[in-house]
Structure 1
Amino acid sequence: MAGRAVGNLLGLAVLSYLSQRPMHPYELSRAMRDHGDARSIKFSHGSLYMVFQQLAKAGFIVEQETVRQGQRPERTVYALTDQGRLEMDDWLRELVAEPAHEYPRFVAALALIAALDPSEVVELLTERRQRLAAQQAEIRKLIDDTVAAGIHPLFLVEEEYRLALLDADHAFVTRFIEQIDNDWGPMWAAFHRQGEAGPS
């Protein structure tokens, strides 16, 4: 995304919502929160307004009108431009088709985990597995309740993906604990003691 005029994924969300109809930033923010997008895209009131400015500067959106409701302040309504629609389509296609290298915190921890004693690691992994199970149950309930309310599963596909990642994480942690308990523990403990002793 380095070559894009606006690289913040919040910008893609704005383009997507404006492809449905023109909106002002406050209305779009409320729609994103109502639809649960805050679970997938990090944003705040300030960051959203900044992204609107960036998209307008890039020519992807344009001011359409200024409206006022009652005693509320005036709000500027923005519309998607043809250039903005092309950018949205291209950006979405890229994200769907091209896997990107990311830096999850857990992967960083795994790269350095030999610095901990294996018995402690088993305790920590057991704690992680319990928390993963709670998150899995939460998302399954969210999906089931939302579908039962009449929402098509298509609109929950990001939750299905999040659940699949949690399932994979849970399975990995379980297998890792078994490897430490059944095979790697003694060698790892010896390596850890040697590291604690330091250079002779």
Structure 2
Amino acid sequence: MPARETSAVPHKPKRPANALALAVLGLLLEQPMHPHAMAGALRERGMDRAFKLTTGSLYDTVRALTRDGWIEADGTEQVGNRPARTVYRHTAAGREGFTDWLDELIREPSPEYPRFLSAVGYLGALGRVRAAGALRERAAALRERIEQGAEDYRTAREEHGAPRLFVIEAEYAAAMARAELAWVEHTADEVERGTLAWPEGADGE
């Protein structure tokens, strides 16, 4: 009895653990690209603020995505006398896996554990003066980050012609930073006015 033919089921690649992998997969959804072009696009859009971007980390990520079946080589590209560069594209399973993963990340809020959230729970240990000073310094850093983000966003949109949808994460980051700044400044005001109750004996002064 002849063996039954079965249609091939695409293997679901193992999900990467870092944000850079997600960014690389997103870029390749637009078009095939070599790592040098990926790095340029990520920097132009200001996405390198969300993760550490180095030549080594990018090539390590591309190798891992290739190994795990997310992407594959799509030929080479050479300009002038420069060495040929390998261009990558999604595999069929990688493209489907990426959109499924993206849908899940956007649809389902998941717990995140920023260091500030852990540290601010022990604000009282600093004492009023030191706590207020730390909050004011954080507020200044947040204002600087917001201003720099706005400039990077303007550059990406106006000078590099990036469509708004391609840099919309910068709008989200700015909204989150403004919300944090408002909370930090309000809390610093409360500490300085003495309207935020402090544990007895924990003034630290």
Q: Which interval holds the TM-score relative to the shorter structure? A: 0.7 to 0.9
What residue is the counterpart of 2:24 in the other structure? Answer: 14
Q: Which runs of 5+ in 2 are unaligned?
A: 1-12
Paired residue for 2:69, among 19, 44, 59?
A: 59
- The CA distance in 2 between the partners of 1:148 and 1:79, in whole Å, is 28
What one-letter code is carried by the residue in structure 2 that aligns with 1:12?
L
The structure whose RCO (Cα within 8 Å, separation 6+) is larger is 2
What residue is the counterpart of 2:97 in the other structure? Answer: 87
What one-letter code is carried by the residue in structure 2 that aligns with 1:161?
Y
Which residues in structure 2 correspond to 1:1-200 (within 5 Å)?
4-143=14-153, 152-180=163-191, 181-184=193-196, 187-188=198-199, 190-192=201-203
Change (3 A) 1:138 1:77: closer
- The CA distance in 2 between the partners of 1:127 and 1:51, in whole Å, is 35
1:92 shift after superposition: 0.9
Q: TM-score w.r.t. structure 1 length?
A: 0.80
**Range that drifts further, 57-66 or 81-90:** 57-66
Alignment coverage as a number of residue pairs = 191
What one-letter code is carried by the residue in structure 2 that aligns with 1:183?
T
1:117, 1:188 within 8 Å by CA — same for their partners in 2? no
- The CA distance in 2 between the partners of 1:10 and 1:92, in whole Å, is 14
**Range that drifts further, 34-43 or 166-175:** 34-43
Change (3 A) 1:148 1:189: farther
2:46, 2:152 within 8 Å by CA — same for their partners in 1? no
1:152 shift after superposition: 4.5
The alignment partner of 1:191 has SS state of coil
Same amino acid, percent of matched pairs? 34
2:20, 2:58 within 8 Å by CA — same for their partners in 1? yes
Q: Deviation per CA, 1:149-176, whole angstroms, max 9, x where unpaired?
A: 6655433321221121122112211221
The alignment partner of 1:137 has SS state of helix
1:24, 1:75 within 8 Å by CA — same for their partners in 2? yes
Change (3 A) 1:67 1:96: same
Change (3 A) 1:77 1:138: closer
Q: TM-score w.r.t. structure 2 length?
A: 0.79
What one-letter code is carried by the residue in structure 1 that aligns with 2:194?
N
1:112 shift after superposition: 1.9
Q: Which has the higher helix share?
A: 1
- The CA distance in 2 between the partners of 1:68 and 1:142, in whole Å, is 30
Q: Which runs of 5+ in 1 are unaligned?
A: none
**Range that drifts further, 67-76 or 145-154:** 145-154
